[in-house]
Amino acid sequence: MELNRIISAIKEKQSEIKSVFFVGCGASKAELYPAKYFLEGNAKHLRTSLYTANEFNYATPVSVDDTSIVITCSLGGATPETVEATTLAKEKGAHVIAVTHVEDSAITTDAEYVVYHGFHESYAAKMEKMTKVLGLATEILNQFEGYQHYEKMLDGFDKIYGLIENAVSSVVPQAKAFADAYKDDEVIYVMSSGATHEVAYSFSICLLMEMQWINSGTFHDGEFFHGPFEIVDKDVPFLLLMNDGKTRGMDARALEFLQRFDAKTTVVDAKDFGLGSAISSEVVDYFNPMLISGVIRVYAEQLAIVRNHPLTKRRYMWKLEY
Amino acid sequence: MELNRIISAIKEKQSEIKSVFFVGCGASKAELYPAKYFLEGNAKHLRTSLYTANEFNYATPVSVDDTSIVITCSLGGATPETVEATTLAKEKGAHVIAVTHVEDSAITTDAEYVVYHGFHESYAAKMEKMTKVLGLATEILNQFEGYQHYEKMLDGFDKIYGLIENAVSSVVPQAKAFADAYKDDEVIYVMSSGATHEVAYSFSICLLMEMQWINSGTFHDGEFFHGPFEIVDKDVPFLLLMNDGKTRGMDARALEFLQRFDAKTTVVDAKDFGLGSAISSEVVDYFNPMLISGVIRVYAEQLAIVRNHPLTKRRYMWKLEY
């Protein structure tokens, strides 16, 4: 397996890896989050951080050196900050892995290793980026520290793409209902917990703000009760992404509150798509983000249709220098 | 110095500390961020993480043990999740420091060490929480790894409270102008970078959403160009918190874009309050959040006055069980 070989190659050169940095921007940053969350929760020795690329470039952590692995990620491989971070990490002596969809793109130049992922082919292909990065994190943990549920993770990787394709095949009716109900809203809040936290973030800042020009806010649903919940009132629009895993209790608590005060609530629940019956409970948490991202991609597409605002429509991006 | 003694006492018991966890909710979570940012950027060996308390409780990292320091924080000391996290961390054998305003509050019961901070006395007192936690991080780094700019940090701690009091003494006119201009807005976006990133978050979810019931969104201004900036149009309301330090270039780039497209933009800039001339450039980054938080507290107060909506007004918090 490709990811296994990359990490083995790094280990041959440097037996002591101390830090793992994930670096990207926007959706690509958010898609690194499940891997960072996995390492942060399961590693006993490895350090791990997630940076938006220019934060990494402007205030580079002192620990970026030959004892670190830096994983940079850009869909098109040309995001200037992420390309710069890749070069900077190389200069500092780090072991650099670039993750991108586009062969020989700028991000690959200074990367020692490149992982390519699909995108256009299917919903599952769109989730390869997030999934392969989680695969890298799994290999890093297993090879440098050992990981007792390694085989269960591999089993999850075998099953997740099929689960995504199966889920998206049936969700158009719910997605249409969401689109009809939310199409004229002034603002939409999105929240989740666990490994899915930045899926909510990404849906908010990319799918809603960037691709639909809809006002949006996002926060961890464990944080909901410590500030944001005061905005709740009848018909205030929320999208809640519910995990099948350890943090489900937090999601459920937020849902109960939203329903109690009659907020306009749409739930996308991994449990509805059989995630927990297919994947071992010890590792199921880490596969929620891929499944839920696949499903809510359909929600965004239906919103784009009913609002007559294609997901590719932009005012600024791709149109001008900034 | 109290903070120095606490970390010395931990070091006497456990010479090898591997991980530092910061755990809190809402504003108290955000006020832990500068310390986490400082350690993440400057430590070569120490691991560090910031968790909203229930995430820590529901999916406890495997590395919480006697080689870890857990710093929990709650203003009133009674936040149930944070109290639970304090107990859980103690049970796992971690060295637990609770940070709170209220003597003998629930959070102190299972904490091995307690750091008290002011609150009501002044704007500077309100910033003691954030500042003392940064002080703990500074001691941890210096005592366990050594930190070349330790003396400069101590000098910063000596000066920051005076800088805050001086800054807030002159900002009422700007704060009033902000309040008048934004009082009827449907949504207000808040952003920043560097150590100040979660000051923007906290202003958004606590001061605006919780205390004013104003819709809001927040993101790192390095992320702005990778999604959220597509929402920008003439008169879309933004509050930009500008740092005096390494990440200023990111803040400036966001400002330029906002001005170019005529967004309704208010800037609170640490440079306007002499932060950089008082505190050494090697460490100035870490003192932006305290100064800027003090200043924007005045902005929130003026907004509350002009909207006739006291900052203490709630629909749910303190009023019902949830």
Nearest CA in chain B to A28: B226
Same fold, B2-147 and B173-306: yes
Q: Is B34 on the interface with A (CB under 8 A)?
A: no
Residue pair A316/A211 in contact by the 8 Å Cβ criterion? no
End-to-end CA gap in chain A: 40
Query: Is B213 part of the contact surface with chain A (CB cutoff 8 Å)?
Result: yes
The residues, any chain, with a CB within 8 Å of residue A307's CB and separated by 6 or more, are A179, A183, A212
Q: Verify whether the Cβ–Cβ distance B29 to A223 is below 8 Å.
A: yes
- Across the interface, do A219 and B225 touch by the CB < 8 Å criterion? no
Give the strand order in the sheet containing A187-192. Answer: A215-220, A187-192, A237-242, A264-269
Interface-testing mutation among B28, B29, B31, B58, with chain A (most A C-beta atoms within 10 A): B58
pLDDT class of B161 with cuts at 50, 70, 90: very high
Contacts of B318 (CB under 8 A, 6+ apart): none
- φ, ψ of residue A306 in degrees (nearest 5): -70, -25
pLDDT reported for residue B74: 98
A309 touches B: beta carbon within 8 Å: no
Cα-based distances in Å from A67 to A15, A93, A95, A143: 9, 8, 8, 15
Note the pLDDT of residue A232.
98
User: Which residue matches tokens 């991006």?
Assistant: A317
Sign for the pseudo-dihedral over CA of A276, A277, A283, A288: negative
C-alpha closest to that of A34 among A134, A119, A107:
A134
Place of tokens 């402007």: A58
ipTM, 2 decimals? 0.98
Q: What is the average pLDDT across B63-74?
A: 98
- Express each pLDDT in B173-230 by its tens digit: 999 999 999 999 999 999 999 999 999 999 999 999 999 999 999 999 999 999 999 9
Q: Is domain A169-306 in CATH 3.30.360.10, yes or no? A: no
**If you compute the radius of gyration of chain A from its CA atoms, what whole number of angstroms results?**
19
DSSP B67: T
- B1 has pLDDT over 80: no
CATH of domain B2-147: 3.40.50.10490
pLDDT of amino acid A83 = 98
For residues A96-106, one letter each, b for 16 or more C-beta atoms within 10 angstroms of the residue's C-beta and e for the rest, the string is bbbbbbeeebb
CA distance B195 to chain A (A): 10
Partners of residue A19 on adjacent β-strands = A47, A68
* Contact (CB<8Å) A41/B47: no
Measured CA to CA, the distance from residue A91 to residue A266 in angstroms comes to: 47
Asked if A305 is an interface residue toward chain B (Cβ–Cβ < 8 A), one would say: no
Interface test with B, best of A20, A58, A199, A203 (most B CBs within 10 A): A58
Q: Is the pLDDT of residue B252 over 80?
A: yes
Q: Which residue of A18, A227, A316 is in closest CB contact with B230?
A: A316
Residues from chain A that touch B26, judged by Cβ atoms under 8 A, are 223, 226-227
Alpha helices in B145-282 (DSSP H): 150-168, 172-182, 197-202, 211-212, 248-260, 275-278
Per-residue pLDDT tens over the stretch B283-293:
999 999 999 99
> How close is the nearest chain A Cα to the Cα of B47, in Å?
5
Looking at every residue in chain B, the average pLDDT score rounds to 97
Kindly determine whether residue A26 and residue B227, on different chains, have CB atoms separated by under 8 Å. Answer: yes
A5 touches chain B (CB under 8 A): no
Task: Map out the domains of chain B as residue ranges.
Answer: 2-147, 173-306
- pLDDT computed for residue B283 by the predictor: 98
pLDDT of amino acid A128: 97
Domain B173-306, CATH 2.40.30.30 — does that match?
A: no
Q: What is the pLDDT along chain A (322 residues), one digit of tens a residue?
A: 799 999 999 999 999 999 999 999 999 999 999 999 999 999 999 999 999 999 999 999 999 999 999 999 999 999 999 999 999 999 999 999 999 999 999 999 999 999 999 999 999 999 999 999 999 999 999 999 999 999 999 999 999 999 999 999 999 999 999 999 999 999 999 999 999 999 999 999 999 999 999 999 999 999 999 999 999 999 999 999 999 999 999 999 999 999 999 999 999 999 999 999 999 999 999 999 999 999 999 999 999 999 999 999 999 999 999 9
Containing A256, the helix (H) or strand (E) segment is helix A248-260
Reduce the DSSP state of residue B113 to 3 states and report it: strand
Q: Which residues of A161-196 are buried (b: 16+ CB within 10 A; e: fewer)?
A: bebbeebbeebeebbbebbeebbebebbbbbbbbbb
A279: DSSP letter:
S
